[in-house]
């Protein structure tokens, strides 16, 4: 944490107590154990070690990571940072500034995107999400976000503004009760898939949301955007599906709705809009 100091740090035959006196803490965002913050220009060799977290700072780069998982032996190389047979017990944290980063087949990610970054998660799990002055895009392919997050603006020394986009296939679980949101905007792109009982795509279904209409194509798909703030992110918005002038599905969606939204209009299911207020 002293970047101007010219030193080499070597730890040999070093041990540390377990995360608590009764056994290991569960995986996730807990500040215990060995936690390393690695400067991108550092020369690092870590091997045969058990750590809580290893922070990576990515700035103005295009790069990719894969197979970062907690609780299992992992090896990776980034610049002159080399991890060999390292077991991370808590989470894999990244600060990502004005960068294009892809992470594949990984879990328990802690992401802090900044600037105009584009971050793509493929078959990966994000356990903590804290954007800071972020104006870029998060893209998910079979993504999962659990546990916690902070989307804040006008908070000195944290984040003065957030106004970013979330796209792709994403399931959000257990975050509704733990998400902090203040003075920030997020635009979610919702994909919609309309099929019949047999999973056959239905063309020409009209999706109505906030006074706008969107029509499914030959693959039964369409998409729309909703911009969320701290005033509406947990308030349901009505989504209606119409076919041949008949209302076939009506349901409520909010920031936490899973994408893609899959609708079966032939089932004629009318789902009530339930007002939820967790503030």
- Interatomic CA distance for residues 190 and 140, integer angstroms: 12
pLDDT at 23: 54
Q: Are residue 88 and residue 226 in the same domain, yes or no?
A: no
Residue 273 lies in a domain: no
Instruction: Look at residue 192 and tell me whether its pLDDT is greater than 70.
Output: yes
Range of the domain at 209: 191-267
Longest dimension (CA), the chain: 74
Give the pTM: 0.86
Handedness of CA 79, 46, 115, 186 (dihedral sign): positive
Residue by residue, what is the 3-state secondary structure of 27-53?
CCCCCCCCEEEECCCCCEEEEEEEEEE
Q: Using omega within 30 degrees of 0 as the cis cutoff, is the peptide bond preceding 260 cis?
A: yes
pLDDT at 50: 86
Q: Are residue 102 and residue 229 in the same domain, yes or no?
A: no
Residue 246 lies in a domain: yes
- Domain end, chosen from 183, 208, 240, is at 183
Residue 28 lies in a domain: no
Q: Are residue 222 and residue 197 in the same domain, yes or no?
A: yes
Total domains present in the chain: 2
Alpha carbon 241 to its chain's center: 28
Q: What is the tens place of the pLDDT at every residue in 66-109?
A: 999 999 999 999 999 999 999 998 899 999 999 999 999 999 99
- Domain end, chosen from 183, 207, 237, is at 183
- Domain end, chosen from 154, 183, 212, is at 183
Q: Are residue 237 and residue 263 in the same domain, yes or no?
A: yes
């Amino acid at each position: 944490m002293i970047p101007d100091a010219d030193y080499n740090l070597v730890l040999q035959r070093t041990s540390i107590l377990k995360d608590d006196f009764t056994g290991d803490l569960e995986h996730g965002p807990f500040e215990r154990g060995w936690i390393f913050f690695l400067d991108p220009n550092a020369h690092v060799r870590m091997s045969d070690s058990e750590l809580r977290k290893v922070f990576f700072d990515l700035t103005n780069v295009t790069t990719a990571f894969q197979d970062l998982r907690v609780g299992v032996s992992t090896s990776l190389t980034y610049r002159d940072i080399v991890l060999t047979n390292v077991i991370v017990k808590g989470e894999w944290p990244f600060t990502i500034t004005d960068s294009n980063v892809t992470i594949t087949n990984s879990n328990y990610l802690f992401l802090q995107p900044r600037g105009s970054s584009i971050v793509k998660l493929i078959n990966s799990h994000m356990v903590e999400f804290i954007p800071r002055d972020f104006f870029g895009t998060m893209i998910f392919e079979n993504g999962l976000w659990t546990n916690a997050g902070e989307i804040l603006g006008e908070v000195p020394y944290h984040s003065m503004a957030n106004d970013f986009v979330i796209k792709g296939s994403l399931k959000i679980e257990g975050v509704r009760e733990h998400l902090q949101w203040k003075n920030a905007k997020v635009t979610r792109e919702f994909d919609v898939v309309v099929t019949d009982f047999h999973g056959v795509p239905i063309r020409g279904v009209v999706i109505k949301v906030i006074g706008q209409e969107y029509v499914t194509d030959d693959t039964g798909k369409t998409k729309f955007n909703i911009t969320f703030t701290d005033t509406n992110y947990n308030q349901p918005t009505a989504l209606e599906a119409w076919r041949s002038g008949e209302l076939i599905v009506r349901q409520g969606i909010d920031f936490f709705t899973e994408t893609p939204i899959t609708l079966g209009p032939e089932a004629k299911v009318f789902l009530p809009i339930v007002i939820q207020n967790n503030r």
